[in-house]
Amino acid sequence: MARTQHRSAEANSITEGVIWKQLLIFFFPILLGTFFQQLYNTADAMIVGKYVGKEALAAVGGTTGVLINLLVGFFVGLSSGATVLISQHFGARRDQAVSDTVHTAAAMALLGGLIITVLGLIFSPALLRLMGTPADVMDYSVTYIRIYFGGVIFSLIYNIGTGILRAIGDSRRPLYFLVASCMTNIVLDVVLVLGFDMGVAGAALATVFSQMVSAVLVVLTLTRSQRSYQLQLRKIRLHMNLLSGILRIGLPAGLQSVLYSLSNVIIQASVNGFGTDTVAAWTAYGKLDGLFWMTVSAFGVAITTFVGQNFGARRFDRMKRSVWVCLGMAVIATVILSGVLLTCGEFLYRAFADDENVIRLGMDILRLLVPFYGTYLCIEILSGAVRGTGDSLVPTLMTLFGVCLMRVVWLWGVAPRFGALDMVLICYPITWTLTSALFLIYYLRGRWLKRSMRKFGMDDA
């Protein structure tokens, strides 16, 4: 009886109570977690940028970052299918289905780690050359990316593990793991890059070891749990019936991540053509820009879990209200963050570089893109909401057309006519606005909900 009561209280944190309060309780640990994740990525860039040089800065997060996001992002998108299924089954109190999905997801992490390691080590150098990586950046980029992919399995294990915890409403322990990982990374950055003078290789090793720490912590947490989501190593295997559901939801999300990354690869290749200073400025901007993306992605994760559990519990009215509450909070956060970046941007840039030309170029980029952040919000919040019910294909198709295809058309058909950096980067707000409009129309029509109810075995009523 005590177990049942505890389980009820556990579920009620999302399916009961005041929506905005429960969203914030769930959202802030995710936000702080993504902040620490961004912090340890930023620590790499700051230390190599200040103590190794702008060429190293351009490599550690600029040219390498888009390729890492291409491969790792696909797997994280794919594994989101497991997160959605676990949240739905947890909300519906289907304990055996939760357990089987957890072990299927763990098997995916191990298999995916092996595949991505092989692909990353073999193809990354050729892709860096194909992107037009500047010659003085190339050696740094190859060194960093080979070490990173050598330990990428730890990143996949961590992402699967925290996805499981967030699916059942636990966003605090993933935060603790990221804090430990971040502190490990910063200490190792100082020791390896400054103390042992290992340069970019030291920054890469620091990242790999810090991800190993977070992976070990999340595995220990799951194996020691006594709940339905307990991980038992001997039970790790692919349950094919659940794998098909994971792929149905996660494969479109993974492909969407790939399409995003491919369009960013094309943008990075275009930026590379403007020289090392511009690549360094774009890399530094990416670290500041990460403050927005970590915020909006935290809202996206929060609403996906909220919708998933309330959908499984058949709390449809609460599910719909939570979407608009989350969107309103995202608007407020975006306005505040945009004001901070526009006001303090130059000061923040100096944490990454001392070169005045790099700072000037970075401020030009910031002033061009930051005012348009709000045009992206409907993409993140509404797509997260409909994916929480298991509807993933149509959002991917809209993203394919509205973001990826239109960016490629712009970059290959319009931007070359002008030969200016701002005409390359303006594709971001143009495609954000178009795709947000598509998502708003799709969400308001509402057919996605009835379709998801049928797939989950619910009556339309």
Residue 300 lies in a domain: yes
- Among candidate residues 377, 374, 348, 382, the one with its CA nearest the CA of residue 362: 348
CA distance between the termini of the chain:
32
- pLDDT computed for residue 441 by the predictor: 93
Q: What is the number of domains present in the chain?
A: 1
Q: Are 204 and 65 in contact (CB under 8 A)?
A: no
Q: Are 403 and 259 in contact (CB under 8 A)?
A: yes
Q: Are 177 and 164 in contact (CB under 8 A)?
A: no
Domain that holds residue 389: 17-455
- pLDDT computed for residue 459 by the predictor: 60
Residue 440 lies in a domain: yes
Residue 6 lies in a domain: no
Residue the block writes with tokens 């995202």:
330
Residue ranges in 273-374 assigned as alpha helix (H): 276-312, 316-349, 356-369
Low-confidence residues of the chain: pLDDT under 50: 1-12, 461
Residue 210: exposed, middle, or buried by beta-carbon count in 10 A (0-12, 13-18, 19+)?
buried
Whole-model pTM? 0.72
Please tell me the chain's helix, strand, coil percentages from 3-state DSSP, rounded to the nearest 5: 85, 0, 15
- How far apart (Å, rounded) are the C-alpha atoms in residues 114 and 107? 11
Residue 460 lies in a domain: no
Q: Write the CA distances from 199 to 48, 56, 202, integer angstroms.
A: 7, 8, 5
DSSP state of 400: I
Residue 147 lies in a domain: yes
Q: What 3-state class would DSSP assign to 33?
A: helix
3-class SS string, 36-52: HHHHHHHHHHHHHHHHC
- pLDDT computed for residue 442 by the predictor: 92
Residue 7 lies in a domain: no
Residue 413 lies in a domain: yes
pLDDT tens digits for 383-405?
889 988 888 788 888 888 888 78
Q: Write the CA distances from 340 to 176, 280, 316, 336, integer angstroms.
A: 27, 22, 37, 6
Residue 424 lies in a domain: yes
- pLDDT computed for residue 2 by the predictor: 38
